[in-house]
Amino acid sequence: MSEAALADQSLFAQNRRAFLLRKLHSLTGVAPVGAFMVFHLWTNAKALQGQEPFDKAVAEITHTPYLAVLEWGLILLPLLFHAGYGVKLALDAKYNVSKYKTTRNWAFTLQRVTGLLAFAFIAFHLYEYWGKKLAGKLAPEQFYPALCQNMSATVKGIPVVGLLYVLGIAASVFHFANGLWGFCFSWGVTVSRRSQQMAAAVFGVLGVAIFLLGANTAIYFSTGSSVQDMIFGKKGGSDARTCVDILQQTQKPASVGPVIE
């Protein structure tokens, strides 16, 4: 076999570069990017127990050895690659869902739409908290009060930022769950039609569970109450500082006019 033919069969040959990039894009979407998203939502759910448990969880992460190396090497650089190449795929894709209204065609379209929405949401979230932490404008122990205040701010009675977080979490989780199906399909894990249908059902249930986990925390930061509090009522007995306590302390007392004797 000639050297030219061997070069064409190389994994890193120019004619196979797009294939390799798509595989790497699919892989990074599952691990580490998707896995970190689930871990991040799980850690943030500690907020429902109050500021002290939340601060403790954040402190454990903050004191991780070689944190900067782990953040850049295992989270930010893979995220930048996955987001950047994902934007390219979304812009280059040819959409024909109006002509072929199949389930997988809708999933293909929504995968790219939610990818763009998730990219914008994650960029905003990183700027608001991680970026300000790096700039020295926000200490880790200030995350909880900042989240309570920012996400509960209302416009005409509507917690706009909190609502954007719920929608951003929904887009991110759908992109992850549907991406898991695509990963299993493209990597040859689910070959038969039955296995693909089972994977769709499993990842669908997993996506709903992850969304409820993240949305519940966003609702808590926005309203001071979790979904279970709204349904079953709040349970007493905890002395931990909550969003309600923080908002009550930051509210300015109403001005009182001079007392005329």
Q: What is the pLDDT of residue 100?
A: 87
Helices (H), the chain: 3-9, 17-28, 35-44, 51-62, 67-70, 77-92, 103-125, 132-134, 143-152, 160-186, 193-223, 227-232, 243-250
Using CB atoms within 10 A of its CB, is residue 171 exposed (0-12), middle (13-18) or buried (19+)? buried
pTM beyond cutoff 0.85: yes
Name residues whose C-beta falls within 8 Å of residue 182's C-beta, 6 or more positions apart in sequence: 26, 111
Q: What digits encode the pLDDT tens for the residues 44-68?
A: 999 999 999 999 999 999 999 999 9
Asked if pLDDT for residue 255 goes beyond 50, the answer is no
